[in-house]
Amino acid sequence: MNRWNELETSRRAWSFLVVDEVEKEGGRLYAAAWALGDGNADHFLGSNQYEVTDVDGEEELLVGLGKALDTRRYQDSTLITPTQKTLSFLRARFLTTDAISQPTFRGFRHIALDELLSEYVETSAINDHKVDFAEDGFDWQTDENRVDGESVVKSLWELRAELGPLVPEDALYGSQL
């Protein structure tokens, strides 16, 4: 195999982001975990995840996510989330922390998979995938109530890879953030 081919198979074209939202006393939500995985049309390249046990750890969690996103920013990568709500929630949480001076999602294109599916795929087909788009967000808890971020982002990668040839190319480009 030549070097050009090796680089192409390890190229990060898509970054998949999921966030676990947990309700604290008073009904407010906080970010309890995130998982960020990378892939391209041929390969899932791996993932990172971060989890906290209570609201006191949220600031550190958000700083870690900001740093993980910074390494992918302006790399011609598309950020793929289960829903548009994922980014809305994170924007709200970033506004509450002083630990990040200028949080931003700029430098990415974005696709919300639920919107792509609802526009191009019959709704009942969504349930055929191992991805659970819960009404109140993305369900990524295991039976043991442990966060399994890698399997979630890998499921998103599989779904995006399957959708690729079935939807218009423009829909897969994403919107600039």
Domain boundaries, the chain: 20-176
CA neighbor of 78 nearest in space, from 119, 108, 107: 108
Q: How far is CA 5 from the centre of its chain?
A: 27
3 state SS of 167 = coil
Q: If you compute the radius of gyration of the chain from its CA atoms, what whole number of angstroms results?
A: 16
Q: What is the pTM of this model?
A: 0.83
Give CA angle at 15 (9, 16), nearest 5°: 125
Q: What pLDDT does 97 receive?
A: 84
Region of poorest pLDDT, from 62-71, 112-121, 131-140: 131-140
* pLDDT tens digit sequence for 27-53: 788 888 999 999 988 889 989 999 888
Mean pLDDT over the full length of the chain: 80
Strand partners, 138: 133
Q: Mean pLDDT over residues 145-151, rounded? A: 69
